[in-house]
Structure 1
Amino acid sequence: MQGFFLDFFHSVSIVLILIGALVLSQLSRKGLNRYARITSANIRINPTTFSFLKNAISFVIFGLAIIVILHLIPGLEKLATTLWASAGILSVVIGLATQQTFGNIVSGIFIVIYKPFRIGDTIQLPNGNHGIVADITLQYTVINNAENRHIIVPNAVITRDYVINSTIIDDKVCNQIDIKIITQDLEAAMDLLKQIAMSHPDFYDPQQSDISEVKARNIVPAQVQVVDLADNWVTLRLSVWCKSSTKAFSMKSDLLFSIKKQFDAKGIRI
């Protein structure tokens, strides 16, 4: 009688373990599907890779369930113990081999959640590389620089150090141009610099924007200062605000061209 109840208990336990493994497998697959839908706008997941991840999780869950079931069957305890030991060794090997990969995946998830930068933001890395974030994948962040070259940075690397984000809070940029000139009328040269800067289409005027009045008062849209004096020349610094960080370099190039052209026309030597 005791043997009958023991066999019945083992049979019920095996059925419950299989049902639990099935439920856990389905919940895991639904969780991965939900994660993919939420992050699909920011992270591209290859369908083949995603399917592999779901099948791998199901395989691991049912593999563990089978090992537990073998423990319940008399005479197979040693086999189950051997399988547990093999699984432990295998997990250590896999963990060491994929440590960097999982680190990149976790870092990519943190980037999506906390958003230190987003696709379309202009960022600069500690090594001086800068550009626009073109893509954020499970493994890498892709940055498109001014030469239209793609800088591919592992997510674990980009989250380990600081990043200068020119877009996330305020996209406006203050361009500074230093010019050494020779002139008898310094004030006229300074006024001309201001006129050239303020006539550019990308010039930012806080008085014509929707920012607060207090913040507008703290921004000088175009300013010319004397920063150095020499025997033969004066160094002027033009500080002018640009509407967008992506247009700042083009605006600076346009201003240099206009300054050279109009100063030559006015007889101001550079």
Structure 2
Amino acid sequence: MTTDQEVAALTIPEQIWLWLRLNMVEIAGAFAVLVIGLLIAGLLSRWAQKALNRSPRLDPTVSNFLANLIKYALWALVLVTVLAQFGVETTSILAALGGMALAIGLALQGTLSNVASGVMILVQKPFKVGEAITVDGITAVVQNIGLFTTELKQFDGLFVMVPNSELWNQPIVNFNRHPTRRFELIVGIAYDDSMDQARKELLALAEADQRVLPDPAPQAFVASLDDSSVGIGLRVWCATGDYLGLSWDLTEAAKARFDAVGISIPFPQREITTKTA
């Protein structure tokens, strides 16, 4: 048995060699726990990633994030177990790790909020890459969805990067989620023109266009009585991919058809009556 005085009389290399000899069993056990623990953590992480990738609701980015989270948590558990082999008080270590996690969480509150929002976006999927959306006054096509930010491309070609927390906390309009859309056209005609004829002409245009779906059937109606005109409305349903082209073509065709049959589209007018005393 070596006394404290004898240990103190040794040089530092000799003290290290003595400590290694006295704790050889603990060192071997800790090394074994470290190696086996890291191997198990890697296996469980890969197994979790494969299991998560089988779910159609989870994006690959979310699967990777959750798999890495499991791996790092297992690493921390292995580290605490190894330190316990040498008699280190694990309670204080866990308390220190908890305090450190709290400090990091407070310092990175905005970043963690973006990560949480990114995970929710990838899980709930209010939009996907390639879909056109409107959010907070921005209309653009989704280019990439990350854990921190989402990249958008406006229709004029401009690049927009939005933090995920701002996207998740705003109402999102998705133009491509449903396979069909309704298009509504309102054309003003003169009060002297026939409303019934105008409705029939618009319905004839809709029926002649193959992009207009028969169900729900096209509708033509009197939409408004304005100061200088009567608004005649047309509602049709079409495939989402045909919406833009159909809206342009029906608007142009309505003007040409009304001109051809003598239905006028009046300019704004105002009648002024002057009374003399």
TM-score, reference length from structure 2 = 0.65
The correspondence for 2:101, drawn from 69, 91, 101, is 91
**In the TM superposition, what whole-angstrom CA distance separates every residue of 1:235-255 from its partner, at most 9, and x where no partner exists?**
1111121211x4323322222
> Does 2:174 match 1:179?
no
Partners of 2:87 and 2:113 lie apart in 1 by 34
Displacement of 1:12 after TM fit? Answer: 7.0
Greater relative CO (CA pairs within 8 A, separation 6+): 1
Change (3 A) 1:123 1:26: same
RMSD of aligned residue pairs (Cα, Å): 4.2
The correspondence for 2:222, drawn from 205, 222, 226, is 226
Check conservation: 2:193, 2:264, Cα contact below 8 A. Answer: no
Check conservation: 2:38, 2:75, Cα contact below 8 A. Answer: no
Partners of 1:138 and 1:172 lie apart in 2 by 31
Match runs of 1:201-216 below 5 Å: 201-206=210-215
Change (3 A) 1:13 1:232: closer
Structure 2 match to 1:25 = 41
Task: Work out the percentage of aligned pairs sharing the same amino acid.
Answer: 23
Change (3 A) 1:39 1:231: closer
Displacement of 1:225 after TM fit? Answer: 0.8
Change (3 A) 1:86 1:230: closer
The correspondence for 2:257, drawn from 254, 262, 269, is 262
**In the TM superposition, what whole-angstrom CA distance separates every residue of 1:214-251 from its partner, at most 9, and x where no partner exists?**
xxxxx2x321111233575321111121211x432332
> Does 2:139 match 1:130?
yes
Check conservation: 2:195, 2:222, Cα contact below 8 A. Answer: no
Change (3 A) 1:7 1:222: same
**In the TM superposition, what whole-angstrom CA distance separates every residue of 1:180-209 from its partner, at most 9, and x where no partner exists?**
112533322221111223333432222xxx
The unaligned stretches of length 5 or more in structure 2 are 2-21, 266-277
SS of the aligned residue for 1:193 comes to helix
Partners of 2:262 and 2:52 lie apart in 1 by 64
The correspondence for 2:120, drawn from 96, 110, 114, is 110
Match runs of 1:235-250 below 5 Å: 235-244=231-240, 246-250=241-245
Partners of 2:77 and 2:95 lie apart in 1 by 16
Check conservation: 1:28, 1:57, Cα contact below 8 A. Answer: no
Partners of 2:48 and 2:161 lie apart in 1 by 26
SS of the aligned residue for 2:209 comes to coil
> Does 2:195 match 1:199?
no
SS of the aligned residue for 1:118 comes to coil
Partners of 1:110 and 1:35 lie apart in 2 by 19
Decide which structure has the larger Cα Rg and report it.
2
The unaligned stretches of length 5 or more in structure 1 are 207-218
> Does 2:262 match 1:253?
no
Partners of 1:115 and 1:250 lie apart in 2 by 27
Displacement of 1:85 after TM fit? Answer: 6.8
Partners of 1:118 and 1:124 lie apart in 2 by 13
Check conservation: 1:179, 1:235, Cα contact below 8 A. Answer: yes
Check conservation: 2:189, 2:264, Cα contact below 8 A. Answer: yes
Instruction: Kindly provide the amino acid, as one letter, of the partner of residue 147 in structure 2.
Output: L
How many residue pairs match? The answer is: 240
Check conservation: 2:222, 2:230, Cα contact below 8 A. Answer: yes
Instruction: Kindly provide the amino acid, as one letter, of the partner of residue 101 in structure 2.
Output: S
Displacement of 1:111 after TM fit? Answer: 3.0
Instruction: Kindly provide the amino acid, as one letter, of the partner of residue 156 in structure 2.
Output: E
**In the TM superposition, what whole-angstrom CA distance separates every residue of 1:136-176 from its partner, at most 9, and x where no partner exists?**
222233344433434433333323343333443x3211111
Change (3 A) 1:231 1:22: closer
Displacement of 1:132 after TM fit? Answer: 3.6
Structure 1 match to 2:30 = 14
Match runs of 1:39-188 below 5 Å: 42-43=59-60, 60=76, 63-72=79-88, 87-125=97-135, 127-168=136-177, 170-182=178-190, 183-188=192-197
> Does 2:198 match 1:189?
yes
